[in-house]
A and B are shown apart, each in its own frame.
Chain A
């Protein structure tokens, strides 16, 4: 290939790449998910919303989460997303355990895996009791 042709091909390729980036970047950003609330986000709940033995589901940092009062004054909060394949766990009050309806993964009230395919416990979230409020996150 002659040097003139090589130069023109390279120049055209470079211009094409710049234009493709200029067109592609806005589209990429447009399609990218919007930023979720920051890592610092905390949620405050009334203690009355979480009676003994009841699981309260809520949205935390854009994803489903659950808080449970397993024994008087003892609260656990988790991401409600099963660690197996991402389904949302259910609370079974009679069995006092979480069940993933997709592949029957079972978790204890403190989030440990009891049986089934989940590879690790539910992701826990810090809970602080302040006066009559629960601060999560």
Chain B
């Protein structure tokens, strides 16, 4: 039966040719490692977020009067609502962790370098868009945590000279977080950002496929690829086929992350849902010790340690800009970590600063 379906489609669309070119005859480097599979893991996790998000939309009510109670209803009354909501919440955290690993692996292996600058920049934008999705989604349950975390996050924009106050008002849709903030965050979370995200993912994948997968810069056989003046697709003659060899590897890593997602959802669902997330928002009472999610703790602590909020914000902007423009700054073709001691030292320092600031932010 499957053969007859493929025959039918092949006659009309030449589908066998497409499948061969992209699966069985699409060859990848023989020494490809599991770090390359993180993109597929992210696609899977994002698909799951999309599915659980649509399901949550069925019962969620985006108004200050109804939002909190509708989420409580999903958690306590709708069959398996708790499962879908926890999968969505835990999934978002897992996605940020995998995005960071994906970015770190691209950094360590120098995959961002020419001719893959556009892949890097689109990936960097995807990371930021994902953080935007996290931020906008955080407000939707309209809990004390949501309300005050959003108040603090949007307030940070007020440090920008001249534009600050207007920008805060624009982000919130008013002087304080309220009904209009919820409306615009909801629209961005369920429609605006996902649309942009879909387009960017398509572009990112197009870049990966069009340029070809970079060879891992390890082993005695590795030599830096020649620089070309014209477009050049990096082929890997004698490599392993995308299907079934590489897809089996991907399936294994995806299964691992799905198992992790399910394990946290079932055994530690409160890991990402602190007690203040279970109290309805009260604009007149700020609860003590409001902290952002773990992936924003570094930014939170940077704002705290600098004498002025503007300086803290400027440091963050500089750090993120440097990261975005890295392929245009680090232009040497060398990708082997052992031959890039300065970069590897900075790489390790960068991770240490991120982790250190996050821990400091958590305990401060």
Contact = CB atoms under 8 A, between A and B. Distances in A.
Answer whether A and B are interacting partners.
yes
Interface of A: 26-27, 29-32, 34
B358 to A, nearest CB: 33
Contacts, number: 21
Interface in B52-67: 55, 58
Contacts of A29: 79-80
B77 A30 contact: no
Between A27, A30, A32, the greatest number of chain B beta carbons within 10 A of the residue's beta carbon is seen for A30
A51 B230 CA distance: 89
Give chain B's interface secondary structure class.
helix
B78 interface: yes
Size class of the contact patch on chain B: under 10
A34 B78 CA distance: 7
Contact of B84 (A26, A32, A34): A26
Task: Please list the 9 inter-chain residue pairs (A to B) with the smallest Cβ-Cβ separation, ordered nearest first.
Answer: A26-B80, A29-B79, A30-B80, A29-B80, A26-B83, A30-B79, A30-B78, A30-B55, A30-B84
Given A27-B80, A31-B55, 18 more contacts: A26-B79, A26-B80, A26-B83, A26-B84, A27-B55, A27-B84, A29-B79, A29-B80, A30-B55, A30-B58, A30-B78, A30-B79, A30-B80, A30-B81, A30-B84, A31-B58, A32-B79, A34-B77
Nearest to A25: B80
A26 B79 CA distance: 7
Nearest to B87: A26
A8 to B, nearest CB: 12
Nearest to B258: A19
Interface in B70-112: 77-81, 83-84
Interface of B: 55, 58, 77-81, 83-84
Contacts of A27: 55, 80, 84
Contacts of A34: 77-78
A34 B77 CA distance: 9
Contacts of B77: 34
A27 B78 CA distance: 11
Nearest to A26: B80
A131 B79 CA distance: 41
A30 B78 CA distance: 6
21 contacts: A26-B79, A26-B80, A26-B83, A26-B84, A27-B55, A27-B80, A27-B84, A29-B79, A29-B80, A30-B55, A30-B58, A30-B78, A30-B79, A30-B80, A30-B81, A30-B84, A31-B55, A31-B58, A32-B79, A34-B77, A34-B78
A5 to B, nearest CB: 13
B2 to A, nearest CB: 12
A18 to B, nearest CB: 14
Contacts of B83: 26
Nearest to A30: B80
A26 B82 CA distance: 10
Between B77, B79, B81, B84, the greatest number of chain A beta carbons within 10 A of the residue's beta carbon is seen for B79
A27 B54 CA distance: 11
Between A26, A29, A34, the greatest number of chain B beta carbons within 10 A of the residue's beta carbon is seen for A26
Contacts of B78: 30, 34
A32 B59 CA distance: 12
Contacts of A26: 79-80, 83-84
